[in-house]
């Protein structure tokens, strides 16, 4: 496993009542639809089809707008923004969870003179903000290339509760992919995330390999469950919302998916008031800058090494319980591992929260 887990100030927590329930919580978790689907590798069987579809989209587009709302939008944005930046030959914009006119104006400006494609994703009935975004972008496509060609630039991923997309795909002959009966918060291994990842250049078979390996990892007998238990214990006994701290911009989406995201450096009082803190780090960033000498710089001149050193030092000084989750590097395999780890932790927290 390429994920390192370091705990801080766990001696402040009374974990025994939660540990007693953890075994039962894991038993429930292993029976959930998303875990069973991953164990049987049902998602892997769809990967080749999704990759072919992604290749088709990339060949015809320089920008892809992924329409999604709520937790689904957060999850897709988290995965896409964390993927290796140098692979993103096609820009991906996650949109659809707003009715802000200024947000629409910004999107339309980005799409000016662009050959764009729509990938619309919904697990259920489409809310008004989704319908609005879909209507505006569909009309824009039709104006630019006509109704027939516009139909070739719209792809739908829809769950059983979908109303708009299912009807639209049927009437206009759009490609329609069935989204499984899985809550969006646990959809990191589903087509809703795999297709956007494939579009931005991720090897989704490699991603799924990391995802599956994390599910099978023995880490859940030790540090993995402690991390989830620590989060629940803090929420139940200390109050406050869990906070995810990050320095690297590409981790912003993952932090927002997990909780209250705070980009460091932040004021000490802003962090200290929170009950449980998770620090997300990538040890070998995809980029590095060699800095000139200045007071406080790293002896090797590496900005990446300075960031890691500073982040660890600031986190260790914190008085609250917390955990550092650090990846050796953010490649396709490790991204799959991290997404699976975070989903498993969320699953344990959700189930334990019902027991305690």
What CATH number does residue 149 fall under? 3.40.50.10490
End-to-end CA distance of the chain: 30
Looking at residue 86, its pLDDT comes to: 52
Sign of the Cα torsion 123, 127, 130, 136 reads positive
Looking at residue 220, its pLDDT comes to: 67
For the chain, residues with pLDDT lower than 50 are none
Q: Are residues 10 and 111 in the same domain?
A: no
Q: Are residues 233 and 347 in the same domain?
A: yes
Q: Are residues 73 and 41 in the same domain?
A: yes
Looking at residue 89, its pLDDT comes to: 65
Q: Are residues 145 and 46 in the same domain?
A: yes
339: which residues sit within 8 A by CB, 6+ positions away? 78, 79, 188, 189, 193, 211
**What is the value of pTM for the model shown?**
0.90
Last residue of one domain, picked from the residues 156, 171, 203: 203
Q: Are residues 253 and 331 in the same domain?
A: yes
Q: Are residues 7 and 119 in the same domain?
A: no
Sign of the Cα torsion 163, 166, 167, 172 reads positive
Would you tell me how many other CB atoms lie within 10 Å of the CB of residue 41? Answer: 15
Q: Among 321, 250, 257, 254, which residue's Cα sits nearest to residue 287? A: 250
Q: Are residues 61 and 131 in the same domain?
A: yes
Looking at residue 313, its pLDDT comes to: 78
Q: Are residues 276 and 337 in the same domain?
A: yes
Distance separating alpha carbons of residues 211 and 341, to the nearest angstrom: 8
Q: Are residues 213 and 141 in the same domain?
A: no
Looking at residue 223, its pLDDT comes to: 64
Looking at residue 85, its pLDDT comes to: 57
Looking at residue 227, its pLDDT comes to: 80
Q: Are residues 190 and 247 in the same domain?
A: no
Q: Are residues 52 and 164 in the same domain?
A: yes
Domain of 46 in residue numbering reads as 33-203
Look up residue 318 and give its two tokens: 């914190």
Q: Which whole-number Å values give the CA distances from 327 to 87, 172, 281, 332, in the listed order? A: 19, 44, 6, 12
Total domain count, the chain = 2
Residue 157 phi/psi, 5-degree rounding, is: -120, 115
């Amino acid at each position: 496993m390429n994920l390192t887990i370091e705990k801080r100030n766990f001696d402040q927590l009374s974990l025994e009542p939660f540990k007693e329930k953890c075994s039962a919580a894991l038993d429930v978790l292993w029976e959930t639809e998303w875990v069973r689907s991953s164990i049987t590798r049902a998602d892997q069987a769809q990967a080749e089809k999704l990759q072919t579809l992604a290749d088709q989209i990339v060949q015809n587009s320089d920008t892809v707008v992924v329409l999604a709302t709520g937790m689904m939008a957060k999850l897709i944005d988290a995965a896409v923004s964390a993927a290796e930046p140098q692979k993103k030959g096609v820009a991906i914009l996650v949109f659809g969870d707003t009715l802000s006119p200024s947000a629409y104006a910004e999107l339309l400006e980005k799409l000016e003179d662009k050959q764009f494609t729509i990938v619309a994703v919904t697990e259920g009935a489409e809310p008004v903000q989704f319908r609005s975004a879909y209507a505006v972008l569909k009309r824009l496509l039709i104006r630019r290339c006509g109704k027939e060609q516009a139909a070739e630039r719209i792809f739908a991923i829809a769950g059983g509760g979908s109303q708009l997309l299912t009807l639209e795909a049927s009437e206009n002959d759009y490609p329609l992919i069935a989204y499984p009966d899985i809550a969006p918060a646990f959809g990191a291994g589903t087509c809703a995330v795999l297709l956007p990842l494939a579009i931005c250049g991720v090897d989704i078979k490699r991603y799924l390999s990391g995802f599956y390996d994390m599910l099978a990892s023995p880490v859940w007998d030790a540090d993995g469950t402690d991390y989830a238990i620590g989060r629940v214990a803090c929420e139940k006994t200390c109050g406050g919302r869990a906070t995810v701290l990050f320095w690297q911009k590409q981790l912003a989406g993952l932090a927002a998916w997990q909780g209250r995201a705070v980009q460091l450096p932040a004021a000490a009082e802003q962090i200290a008031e929170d009950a449980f803190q998770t620090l997300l780090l990538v040890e070998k960033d995809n980029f590095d800058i060699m800095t000139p000498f200045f007071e406080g710089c790293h002896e090797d001149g590496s900005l990446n090494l300075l960031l890691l050193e500073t982040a660890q030092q600031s986190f260790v000084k914190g008085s609250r319980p917390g955990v550092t989750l650090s990846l050796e590097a953010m490649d396709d395999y490790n991204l799959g591992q991290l997404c699976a780890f975070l989903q498993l932790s969320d699953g344990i927290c959700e189930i334990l929260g019902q027991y305690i």
